[in-house]
A and B are shown apart, each in its own frame.
Chain A
């Protein structure tokens, strides 16, 4: 029995079309023009209890909007959202006690007070009596390696410590479904690893279902055996990570700084040109051909600097479209 289900979920936003400047403002006053933005289009999937699923996609792809529809914050324009047999938008108490939403850049902790105060406030809100709350706080603090931080005002904590405390506040009521929106945003590498380890441990210990959005590949590779790729509001892939990476032409990004500009046609013979501005060039080269092409580039062009790295998601997905692999 699926615990999270989306069936042709869609969300359309009406956005005011306003030109900048004084003229634009006046025109906007007289005649308002609206644009329809399709943030999410006909997304369908179903998730079993205990699964850890990642939503991958570039900024503005619709990941966060989907998550907010599943948590009941936004009403879908059409389609069905179902979590634990309940309709999210009705925001019934049972539903709210079953889920939690953690957002990377926003916090629910009280700024001037220690996290403990926020934790006991949440305990009251969720109807957890003080003894049980204390036990759970202890348990979560152990898992997150938090101790004295709990009694310091939140504004005095580092970003990593704040995120951990945020997670404690969000999980005090032992929700069955965790929605996490970019939880590692802005954290340093160590903190990112700690958060990922904690989420994996939480899933093991309590069998909770995790839905995680991120535009960092590392989050997804570390935690999610199953990946949903969302781009421009549509679902492009629903399956394992291996299937995705083998589907997206495996390639690497090569950044060049040339001694003098070279024509785009010539650059195109080495690989897929992403960007060619004067002497700065970015190419996508399939993994198999990498060493051969790099050798050719170094031999045939005057190169001042060369860097090889993983391409950003946007470029990979762009590749998918150009190669016609949609579906």
Chain B
């Protein structure tokens, strides 16, 4: 157990030092995630000029500008901490021939990628905090502070959401063992993430049929659920967490199994 802890510590420390070298690039990546904030401006303006937004046919209060501001700010933060880039790094490693040496070591490459992601998030953290502060200055009337209990739930939900997104990406990456073109799936996954996860508009805005459909995919649970949680709205916490855990239970064994099969194939091909 101690050896494991030491390994984890060393892995994370090395990855963190590595990521620090790229902090300028990482800061820019954080900055390029400001799409939710643009949507926020659009929706708030819409709410201001045409009254509170509410889902058609869904009785109850609509979302006013405060709700919208809090939602999109939260969505921005949640997005920053649930991003995964496994397909990208996997492809690079495969192309540069770094995959083989990795497979020879007694450490599952997914652990390596996971620690890289966590280190990158740690590097990103100060920038995201700074950007959040900046954006709150622009909409001071929406400023809010979630209770510690809620914050803990948000951290839990975001962590699970990240795990699910990470596994989805890992699944796509694993498929590359069979066909190089599997990475093109990543483009489609990206699109689904963009439009169905609630980055462009809170799911309350969707027509009920579309919303139902979307909730069968993992995407809304990755962004919309934690964001609403953070924004302090009334959310079905148990339901959301259950959905995330469910997806985790499905994706984890699938990914590991496919990975094992993929590595066998890779070795057999003598790559």
Contacts and interface: CB of A to CB of B under 8 A. Distances in A.
The answer to A–B direct touch (Cβ < 8 A) is yes
Contacts of B17: 22
- Give chain B's interface secondary structure class: helix
B270 to A, nearest CB: 19
Interface in B4-57: 17, 20
A25 interface: yes
Interface in A1-56: 22, 25
A22 B17 CA distance: 8
Nearest to B23: A25
Contacts of B20: 22, 25
A25 B18 CA distance: 12
Interface string B177-216: 0000000000000000000000000000000000000000
A66 to B, nearest CB: 32
B47 to A, nearest CB: 41
Interface residues of A, number: 2
A279 to B, nearest CB: 35
A22 B19 CA distance: 12
A22 B20 CA distance: 9
A25 B23 CA distance: 11
A22 B18 CA distance: 11
B208 to A, nearest CB: 51
Interface string A276-302: 000000000000000000000000000
A225 to B, nearest CB: 45
B231 to A, nearest CB: 34
Interface string B140-154: 000000000000000
Nearest to B20: A25
Nearest to B21: A25
B12 to A, nearest CB: 14
Interface string A49-76: 0000000000000000000000000000
A105 B17 CA distance: 31
Nearest to A21: B17
A155 to B, nearest CB: 13
Contacts of A25: 20
Contacts of A22: 17, 20
A25 B17 CA distance: 11
A158 B17 CA distance: 38
A78 to B, nearest CB: 33
Interface in B99-131: none
A25 B123 CA distance: 14
B26 to A, nearest CB: 14
A25 B19 CA distance: 13
Interface of A: 22, 25
3 contacts: A22-B17, A22-B20, A25-B20
Q: Which 3 A-B pairs have the closest CB atoms?
A: A25-B20, A22-B20, A22-B17
